[in-house]
Each structure stands twice: as structure tokens, then as C-alpha cells.
Amino acid sequence: MLSLACCHASRPFAVPSSSVMIVRPPQPRGTNLLAEKVEQLMEWSSRRSIFRMNGDKFRKFIKAPPRNYSMIVMFTALQPQRQCSVCRQANEEYQILANSWRYSSAFCNKLFFSMVDYDEGTDVFQQLNMNSAPTFMHFPPKGRPKRADTFDLQRIGFAAEQLAKWIADRTDVHIRVFRPPNYSGTIALALLVSLVGGLLYLRRNNLEFIYNKTGWAMVSLCIVFAMTSGQMWNHIRGPPYAHKNPHNGQVSYIHGSSQAQFVAESHIILVLNAAITMGMVLLNEAATSKGDVGKRRIICLVGLGLVVFFFSFLLSIFRSKYHGYPYSFLIK
């Protein structure tokens, strides 16, 4: 044995090039699985910004490890028989947000957008004990979602800009929202200008109505009522018209938080403000006119009744939104 070793040591040992084999260390199974999942998600994202998931896909790509990406999921019910108008409105904003991310220069494989429809993933809703839609949730790369990973839609609304801000807080991924151009406002403004211009042209020989103080006062009041009732907030945030409780079917027209409102709520506030203003106008008319005393007294009582009742109603709405406000008047 010793001589054989010496003999081999005295001669160089050569291996034919054709027989050389490179053996690579085996890759961990989790690494291969993660790469496959990310590759599949990137493929889906290249075709559409939001991909739909059923129960099997949800468990594979969202619930099951490994995962090194964040997933934003919208749980919704878009089928016509569900009659969820809020779901359709929220889906439009969600599409705008996802498209903004997909076509962004910062797009990467660290954030994906998906959707689970109730009729396609009933088991997912049951697994998460979810009984309302729409709902937005963030599933982090590691661990289970926390309370803040569920978007507070009732308080904030579902505008794409608000969703982007929430995502930035949860993932540190900042998405600049790009909305498609909407020319409806421009067209409406052009039609209004044309209508006013045509009216002025037809009445060019008699333009005394332009100096009508009552007409300008009514226009000014309409603008004031619209702005003070929150119409601009509705335009920016895009809240739902009202909220229907999925458990008992009760419809709420007044939002319970001071940080949000429904469209119906702004309409109610507009009517209340208009009624209070009408009461004040009647009180002023009763005090300044020189007509019959009995008629003035009736106008005064009607105006006072309008102010007292509708102001009490307005104050009760204020108390319901600003919890802890101690004051009330007639109506609690």
C-alpha cells in the first residue's frame, strides 16, 4: 500500500475532460417554491394589474409560506345579483390604484394587487370570518396581518389616494396615483358657458335681469349650501351614498364618525341649512315689512319654528358624530 501511494505520487494524475462533472449543491426546496410563486405573480401582473383569486390560489400565494412580498387583497361582491353598488365604486378606485402601480417606474415584485370575489371564494370569506364587502387587507411578507392591515373604509373612504397612503404606511411603497383624464367636467362647463352666452344674446336688448339682486342672492346661497354641506369632500373622497348593515339590512344615512360622511348625509345637511336660512329670512321679513300685523305675526312664528326645529335637528346630528358633545336642543 505504501509503495502504491508513492508510485501514484510520482506521476501526475489526469482526468479526461469528457468525464468532468460539476456537482452543484442542492437548493433548498423553499427557495425554489418562492421563486416559482414570484414568477407566477409577475406573469399575472404583466397581463393585468389585479388578478382574481379563488380559495386554492389564496391559500397558495397568500396564506402559505414562503413569501417575501406584500399582497393587497380586495374582498368584494361584484356579481349583479349581489347588488353591491359600493363594491363597484370601490373597485373602480382599486383599479386606478393598481394601474398606477403597474405602470410606475418603481414597479417591482415586492407588492401585488389581487381580488377575492365572494361568489368565487366563499371559503376564503368563511376562513377569515368576513361578513361584509368591500374590505381591503394587507398581507405582509412575514407573519399574520395585524389590525392596522385592514383598511378603515368606513372612516376614510375608498379613494385611490387614501388607499395609496395606507399602503405606504404598511409597506413603505409609495404609489403616485394617476387618474385617467375625465373630460365630463370640461364638457359640462363648456355647455353651461354656451347656454349662458346664448341666453345673453337672445336677451341682449333687455339685460335688466342681470342686476336682479334676488337672483344673485339665490345663486350665492346655492353655492354656499353646496360647499358647507360637504359636496367638495364627496368629490375628493368618493364616499358611498349610504351604508347598509349586512346583518340586519338597516340603512344608515349619517356616518358615525366625525372624520367621514355619506353622500346622503351631505344632502340632509344641505336641506337643514336651507330650512334654517329660510326661517331667518322670514324672521327678517316679519321684522322689517310694514304690512298687516297679523300676517307679520304668522310669518314670524313660521320663521321661528323653522329655525328652532331644524337647528335642533342639525345639532342632534352634530352630537351623533362628535361623541361626548354635551349640548342639545329639543331633539337628542
Per-residue pLDDT tens for 155-188? 788 888 999 999 999 998 999 998 877 677 788 8
Rounded CA-CA distance 326/41 in Å is: 54
Enumerate the domain spans of the chain. 30-171, 182-206, 212-321
pLDDT at 246: 64
Residue 49 burial (C-beta neighbours within 10 Å; 0-12, 13-18, 19+): buried
pLDDT at 276: 92
User: Whose CA is closest to 61, among 132, 134, 121, 9?
Assistant: 121
pLDDT at 218: 86
Rounded CA-CA distance 170/194 in Å is: 48
Rounded CA-CA distance 165/93 in Å is: 13
pLDDT tens-place values along the chain, 332 residues long: 433 433 333 334 343 444 445 445 544 555 688 889 999 999 998 889 999 999 899 999 988 888 899 999 999 999 888 888 888 888 999 999 999 999 988 899 999 999 999 998 899 999 888 888 899 999 999 888 898 999 988 778 888 899 999 999 999 899 999 887 767 778 888 998 999 888 878 777 777 777 778 888 888 888 888 888 888 888 777 777 887 776 677 788 888 777 778 888 889 999 999 999 999 999 998 888 887 888 888 999 999 999 999 999 999 988 888 877 787 788 77
**Residue 51, helix vs strand vs coil:** strand
DSSP 150: B
- Per-residue pLDDT tens for 76-98? 999 888 888 888 888 999 999 99
Contact 133, 151 (CB under 8 A): no
pLDDT at 25: 52
pLDDT at 11: 39
Contact 106, 124 (CB under 8 A): no
Is the domain spanning 30-171 CATH 3.40.30.10? The answer is yes
pLDDT at 247: 66
